[in-house]
Amino acid sequence: MAHTYLSLGSNLSDRLLYLRRAVQHLSSIPDSRLCGISPIYETEPVSPIAQGDFLNLAISFETGLAPEPLLRTLKDAERAAGRTASPRWGPREIDIDILFYDDLDVAFDGLVIPHPEMHLRRFVLAPLADIAPDLVHPRLGLTVRELLQVCPDAHRVQPFELVQGIV
In this structure, the number of other CB atoms found within 10 A of the CB of residue 166 comes to 18
Whether 92 is catalytic:
yes
Q: Based on the residue annotation, tell me whether 83 is a catalytic residue of this protein.
A: yes
The active-site residue, picked from 15, 21, 97, 121, is 97
Helices (H) and strands (E) in the chain, counts: 4, 8
Active site residue: 15, 95, 121, 122, which one? Answer: 95
Q: Looking at the chain, which runs of residues are DSSP E strands?
A: 2-10, 32-37, 41-43, 54-63, 95-101, 106-108, 111-113, 157-159
Q: Which of 14, 53, 76, 83 is catalytic?
A: 83
Check if the beta carbon of residue 7 is closer than 8 Å to that of residue 118.
yes
The phi and psi torsions of 19 (rounded to 5 degrees) equal -65, -45
Q: Residue 95 catalytic?
A: yes
Residue 97 is a catalytic residue: yes
How many Å separate Cα 126 from the centre of its chain?
11
15, 92, 121, 122: the active-site residue: 92
Question: Which residues are identified as catalytic?
Answer: 83, 92, 95, 97
